Each structure stands twice: as structure tokens, then as C-alpha cells.
Amino acid sequence: MATRFTIQGREVTLPVVVRDARSGTVFYDVDAVAAARLLPGTAYEIIESEPGRTQCIIALIDYRDCDLDDYNEVSIAFPVRPVGSDASQDGTFIYRLPVTQRFTCEAGSRIWGYPKSVEQIDYEYADDHLRGELRMDGDLVLRMRVPRSQPEGDPMEIDLRTWSYLDGHPVETSFRNRTASAIRMGAEGVELALGRHRLADDLRSLGLPKESTMTVWTERMSAVFEAPRPLR
């Protein structure tokens, strides 16, 4: 696949580099059948954490220095693998990926097939937490509080994978994160409120809001996103 794109008159060359970002990621235990109903197409299947259960992953991400500009992002994702494959193909499927800038929206959609849209995302930082609010079509989708902690230990490099549809075809995108993160088990410090938008209704269909199972706070993240590869 192509490794060079012209987006809104600017050239983007892969891999795309993130030099500095903050993120708060919250994991929720949800019904696997309900999550599977939200997956588009037929190429992917939900990975169960235990029989009948899976994870819904909601992340508030603040990209501060990135090849695709400075922007806020909310990611709603599920663990998946291609239908019929084994655990070596495990990754995440991003169900929705609202952002605050048009350039990264077009780049993410055209290059990787990510379901980006330009929306209102406001972040408010305190010493011990981040509050985020997402609105779409003028309606509240969610308000979220994520505890903020100092990372523990040295930065680690982690290889990750997302699955998506590009021009209707399933593709894999590999990316490498370099992070030092603080991990909290349980729901302490996490708050989630849902609004009236249809995306909020999708989250309600999973049983949200409810207590979270784990939170990961990353104060300083760097990453490299590779070119997408078609499902083999």
C-alpha cells in the first residue's frame, strides 16, 4: 500500500510519528454479544476475556506534538481478531474515533480507515485527574473523569495492532508505543456520565455507565504508526 499521501495540500509520509501525547484509558467489562452487535462487517470477531465477556476500552487522548498536528481525540474500541484466526492476530477495533481537527480526521480516514469525525472535545486538567467531554451533533455523548498519576518505572516499548476497514477491506495497522504509565485496578477515581446522542445509546447497550475494571494513565507517550496491511 502507499506510504505517501497528499492531505489538504500537505504531504504525509509513513510512518507517522507521535512525539508527545497524554492519554487516560479506561477498561470496562461488558457483554460480548452486545459488543459484537456494534462491530460493522463480518471480518472480525470479539475476543472474550472470559466466557461471554469482553472489554470496552474508552481513551481520552491529547496529542500535543504529532505529524498529524495538535488535537484531542476520544477512542472507543474493542479487542478483536480476524474471524478464524488465532491469538497471534489479536488487536483492537476502533468503533468510533472523534477528533478536534479536520486534517487528522481526513488523514486517519484515508490512510488507515479509522472512523474519525470532527467533533467538540474539551479537556480540563487537574493535578490528580483529567476531565473530558465529548459532544456530537450538538448533543452530549459522554463526560468522563480519569485519574491522573505519575508513571511508575522506566518507559517501555510496546508493539500494538489495530484492525479496521479501508475502502471496505479489512486491514492491519501496527504501531509501537514508548510509554511509562501508571496502572490502577478497579474504579477508584473514574467517573462516566452518558448523554442523549445515539453513540451514548450504543454505550448504554453495553451496560454503561458502570464501574471500571482498570485505568491506565500515560503522562508522556511517543508512538510510530506504520502503513496499513491488507488481511492475509
Share of the chain above pLDDT 90, in %: 91
Q: What letter would DSSP give residue 138?
A: T
* Res 1 pLDDT > 70: no
Share of the chain above pLDDT 70, in %: 100
d(CA 192, CA 10): 37
Q: Between vectors from CA 178 to CA 172 and to CA 183, what angle results, nearest 5°?
A: 100
pLDDT at position 91, please?
Answer: 98
Amino acid at 110: R
The average pLDDT across 3-9 equals 96
Task: Read off the pLDDT of residues 14-65 as tens digits, 9 standing for 90 and up.
Answer: 999 999 999 999 999 999 999 999 999 999 999 999 999 999 999 999 999 9
CA of residue 6 relative to chain centroid, distance: 24
123 is written with which cell numbers?
479537556
Q: What letter would DSSP give residue 48?
A: P
The average pLDDT across 163-171 equals 97
pTM beyond 0.85: yes
Unique residue bearing C-alpha cell 472474550:
48
Task: Read off the pLDDT of residues 118-154 as tens digits, 9 standing for 90 and up.
Answer: 999 999 999 999 999 999 999 999 999 999 988 877 7
Domains and CATH numbers, the chain: 25-226 (2.40.400.10)
Residue 110: left (phi > 0), alpha (psi -120 to 50), or beta?
alpha
